[in-house]
Structure 1
């Protein structure tokens, strides 16, 4: 019997340097971190701590200066641009702050887009379950302009889930939403982890958003400094305040 990896994403000795000489900026300094399969993890830290850089390196959206990144058993850092593009298409889902929906397509077409691009058929049972989970059943024929911000982000969440990616990276997914819509989207993300076994890694600056995660890892000055499990808004806030002191 083969061992199935319980780790979705692993970074070892991850460093990222921008610029040279006097203009050199160490965005990440030898970060070692692993993200479990079927878990919801938040990445937090003060402004400029390197959290977005870390996510971009983990997702293969940015190159690394040193160290390695694995998605499952595949090492990203050794792949060509074409191989990276295929891996991101087939094994990674993305949710951005700005929704990134195509305005000319309706909600259903936007959700199915990653599958259409890769020439794959939708798993209709999964499609129905995802649409039900994110509460969009009666909104599938609506275009983004006919949807609220919260509904648009739910379309983006469904789009990320539908291709059954190994991991979903969410970059400030509630940044453009009011508190009620934000709470709905975070609940859907948590449900997708609990019920669909999805793996989610989310960058956020919001202690309330982070409290929906199973675990929060904290960066400061490009280094991983601490982590907490079963976070509450207060425990996240307390940890952030210590880091900024």
Structure 2
């Protein structure tokens, strides 16, 4: 299996990084007997801290399932998943809920903002629910990074789609989570707004030392990452470091061609 490996131009930690999340021999299956479908097939992967990782693959390849399992949003059939040194695959529901609340951030296609709250209130809502006061200095850095300083008093209905997704990004960053997961975070945005959001995610890695894992089908979006993982039939079949949009597109075309000839 050929793997494109070049020196990453992104990221600020240099050398080897600590592992923020890891999966070992993870299987996720649905159904049983003849109707059994294997979404993840003995997956091993390390997600490095302070890096931006994109997960790609054709529809049904298991990319969203992998992200959901890594994030503790879905259970595994077998295998282990660790966030930092915590194995989440055996946690009880209450502890897993607290871990997701305190240590994990999420960004999805749907902005999931409360219409009755302004931008700042939406950003701090998870911490308010948890009974934690935000770190003011950090919150100001996050707001500056995503360019929302002049929109904090606006409600979602007064914001464009791109601005609403900026609020969602700031909300994910505000509690300083160990890791942020994004499921097609630019899928509902036009190309300009999508590029802005991806730029903010890139800056959060470079300037705020954030760890981001993003599922995407878009080669341009994947080119913002330090590393692209490719899934097919529930397995990681390739990876690319320091990708360009053209390289990602060529690799996806190659996978499509293999699929048609197999």
The TM-score by the shorter chain falls in which range? over 0.9
1:184 corresponds to: 196
1:221 equivalent to 2:253? Answer no
Structure 1 unaligned blocks of 5 or more: none
After TM superposition, give the deviation of residue 227 of structure 1 in Å.
0.2
Candidates 38, 41, 48, aligned match of 2:60: 48
1:233 corresponds to: 245
Give the distance between the partners of 2:31 and 2:90, measured in 1 at CA.
22
Candidates 146, 151, 174, aligned match of 1:134: 146
Show the 5 A alignment for 1:82-97: 82-97=94-109
1:149 corresponds to: 161
Give the distance between the partners of 2:134 and 2:242, measured in 1 at CA.
34
The structure 1 segments of at least 4 consecutive aligned residues displaced by more than 3 Å after TM superposition are none
2:114 corresponds to: 102
Give the distance between the partners of 1:81 and 1:243, measured in 2 at CA.
38
Give the distance between the partners of 1:244 and 1:25, measured in 2 at CA.
21
After TM superposition, give the deviation of residue 23 of structure 1 in Å.
1.3
1:114 equivalent to 2:126? Answer yes
1:24 corresponds to: 36
Alignment: residue pair count? 242
- Structure 1 vs Structure 2 CA RMSD: 1.0
Give the distance between the partners of 1:31 and 1:144, measured in 2 at CA.
39
Structure 2 unaligned blocks of 5 or more: 1-16, 258-262
Give the distance between the partners of 1:14 and 1:238, measured in 2 at CA.
28
TM-score of the superposed pair, with normalisation by structure 1: 0.97
TM-score of the superposed pair, with normalisation by structure 2: 0.91
After TM superposition, give the deviation of residue 101 of structure 1 in Å.
0.7
SS in structure 2 of the partner of residue 47 of structure 1: coil
